[in-house]
Structure formats: structure tokens, C-alpha cells
Amino acid sequence: MKKITVFASGNGSNFQAIVDAIEKGDLDAEIATLVTDKPDCFAVERAKNHNIPVFSIVPKHYATKEEYEKEIAFYLIEKNVSLVVLAGYMRLIGSVLLTAFPNRIINIHPALLPAFPGKNGILQAYQYGVKIFGVTVHYVDAGIDTGKIIEQECFKAEGMETLSEIEEKIHAIEYRLYWRVIKDIL
Ligand code: GRF
């Protein structure tokens, strides 16, 4: 069975959706470890609830980003991880991890890239007043949400007035889209 890792810094609802897909038998993969830069984040609780190992690693404990990423890379290589899945990991991936996992790091973004990259993609799109919202899954490169697009799904915001209605719909798309893309790649 292929081994993957999920990187998260926050709530971890996308991580949870991947865990659920595996537990239901929809996705044939093993999450070798959750990697987090925020040891107290809720994603860690979720991992513990499902007996998934957690690799907590705090960047400020390392002199450089390279040293921080080397520690992660060694761990993941030792665990035989073949795909790195970012799910709300709030840091830019640097050269060490990009070199260790070429074309093997993916991310999910809650907007239709190349529009509204970076933080708060949903809010940015909402405030701009777009009529079509969506989700993008892409390979990760050195830029902010600039890597090659793998998959996108969109919807028209007809009848949806509030930001929270849009957010809910976007997250629902994320939860059913991400594991399918992971399955295709594996
Ligand atoms: C998701 O909307 C994802 O698209 C973005 O960050 C959010 C993470 O949410 N990259 P969660 O931590 O998975 O709940």
C-alpha cells in the first residue's frame, strides 16, 4: 500500500476527509504521519483519534528553514512516503523538500487559481465579488500557489448571499475532491 503524509497547521478538516476516505475503503493508502508546525492544532487531535503518528516540528527550533526541512525530509524518506499532501499547512515549502519530493507535493486551495492565491482565498474572492467560486488542487513549486494545476471544481454563487454559505460549499467540494485526486496520483 502506498504511504502518504499530510501536512496541516490548523483545524485539519481536509486531513479528516482523507482519513475518512481511507477508513471507508475509498482510498487505498496509508497516512504514515501527520506533519505539523503547530503542535497544539486541532489536526493533531484528529490524528490521535485515528492512531495516526504525528510529527510535530517547530520551525523556530531550527537555525534555518533548510535545517528544519531536512529534519522533515529524513523522517519522511525513512517512512517511505511517496506523496506529500498539504492541507492547510501555512508555510511555503522550501528547496529541501521540493528537491526531496520532486513533483510529489500537492496542495489544495479554496479558490480558482491563478486568481486569489495566498491566505484567505475565499474571502478575497468574496470581497472581489466574483460569481463563480471554486477549488484547485495543484502541484507545489517554490511560489505561492503557483504550481501546475491538477484539478479544479467550480460553482455559481446563485442564491448564496453570505460568506459562510460560500465557505460551506467550498469546503464540501474540498472534502470530496482531494482524496479523489490523491487516488488518481497514487
Ligand atoms: C482549506 O480551505 C484549504 O483549501 C486551505 O486551507 C484550508 C484548511 O482547512 N489550503 P482545514 O485545516 O483542512 O480545515
- Please give the pLDDT value at position 161: 79
Q: Are 60 and 38 in contact (CB under 8 A)?
A: no
To the nearest whole number, what is the mean pLDDT of the chain? 97
Domain ranges for the chain, please list them: 2-185
From the CB of 109, is ligand 1 less than 6 Å away? yes
The closest residue, in CA terms, to atom 2 on ligand 1 is: 110
- 56 alpha carbon to ligand 1 midpoint, in Å? 18
For residue 20, pLDDT beyond 80? yes
3-class SS of residue 34: strand
> Quick check: is 109 catalytic?
yes
From the CB of 145, is ligand 1 less than 6 Å away? no
Query: Virtual CA dihedral for 174, 42, 30, 90, nearest 10 degrees?
Result: 60
CATH number for the domain running over 2-185: 3.40.50.170
From the CB of 121, is ligand 1 less than 6 Å away? no
**Residues 6 or more apart from 100 whose CB is under 8 A from it?**
69, 73, 76, 77
From the CB of 108, is ligand 1 less than 6 Å away? yes
What is the average pLDDT across 30-43?
98
Q: What percent of the chain has pLDDT over 70?
A: 100
- 15 alpha carbon to ligand 1 midpoint, in Å? 9
What is the average pLDDT across 110-123?
98
Between CA 10 and CA 87 the distance in angstroms is: 9
From the CB of 87, is ligand 1 less than 6 Å away? yes
Between CA 30 and CA 10 the distance in angstroms is: 21
Q: Could you tell which of 44, 108, 135 is best to mutate to test the pocket of ligand 1, judged by most ligand atoms within 8 Å of the CB?
A: 108
- Please give the pLDDT value at position 159: 82
- pLDDT tens for residues 151-182? 999 999 988 779 999 999 999 999 999 999 99
- 167, with CB counted inside 10 A (0-12, 13-18, 19+), is middle
**Phi, psi (5° rounding) for residue 159?**
75, 0
Q: Are 31 and 19 in contact (CB under 8 A)?
A: yes
Q: Could you tell which of 14, 86, 89, 120 is best to mutate to test the pocket of ligand 1, judged by most ligand atoms within 8 Å of the CB?
A: 14
What is the average pLDDT across 119-133?
97
Q: Which three cell numbers stand for residue 52?
A: 495516526
**Phi, psi (5° rounding) for residue 33?**
-165, 150
From the CB of 117, is ligand 1 less than 6 Å away? no
Of the candidates 70, 46, 72, which has an alpha carbon nearest to the alpha carbon of residue 57?
Answer: 72
3-class SS of residue 123: helix
